[in-house]
Chains A and B, each alone.
Chain A
Amino acid sequence: MDNAYDGLTDAGEERHWAFGTGFTAALAGVDRAIPDVDRAALAAYCLMLGDDALVYSQRLAEWCSRAPELEEDVALANIALDLLGQARLLLTRAGEVEAAGRDEDTLAYLRDEREFRNVRLTEIDCGPGPGGDFGTTIARLLVLSTWRLALLGQLTASADPVLAAVAAKGVKELAYHRDHAAQWVLRLAGGTDVSRARMIAGLERVWPFTDELFTTHPVEAALPGVAVDPATLRAEFDQVIDTVFGAADLDRPEVRQVAPLAGQAGRDGVHTEAMGFLLAEMQHIARSTPGAVW
Chain B
Amino acid sequence: MSARQVAEQVLDPELPVLTLADLGVLRDVREDGDRVTVTITPTYSGCPALDEMRADLVTRLTDAGYAAVEVRTVLHPAWTTDWISEDGRRKLADHGIAPPQRVGPRAVGPVPLNLEPPARRVPCPRCGSARTTELSRFGSTACKALRRCEDCREPFEQIKEL
Contacts and interface: CB of A to CB of B under 8 A. Distances in A.
Interface string B88-119: 00000000000000000010001101111100
A78 B142 contact: yes
Interface residues of A, number: 51
A25 to B, nearest CB: 10
A47 interface: no
Contacts of A247: 115
B44 A244 contact: no
B39 A244 contact: no
A29 B28 CA distance: 13
A85 B78 contact: no
Interface in A78-98: 78-79, 81-86, 88-89
Nearest to A248: B115
A199 interface: no
Nearest to A149: B111
A165 B70 CA distance: 21
A169 B142 contact: no
Contact of B111 (A74, A83, A153, A161): A153
B139 interface: yes
Contacts of B42: 85, 169
A268 interface: no
Given A75-B137, A86-B46, A81 B75 contact: no
A178 B137 CA distance: 12
Nearest to B143: A78
A77 B135 CA distance: 16
A147 B136 CA distance: 23
B116 to A, nearest CB: 6
A2 interface: no
A112 B20 CA distance: 41
Interface of B: 39, 42, 44-48, 51, 54, 70-80, 106, 110-111, 113-117, 135-140, 142, 146, 160, 162
Given A30-B75, A88-B45, 10 more contacts: A28-B54, A29-B70, A71-B138, A81-B44, A85-B42, A161-B76, A168-B78, A173-B44, A176-B137, A180-B137
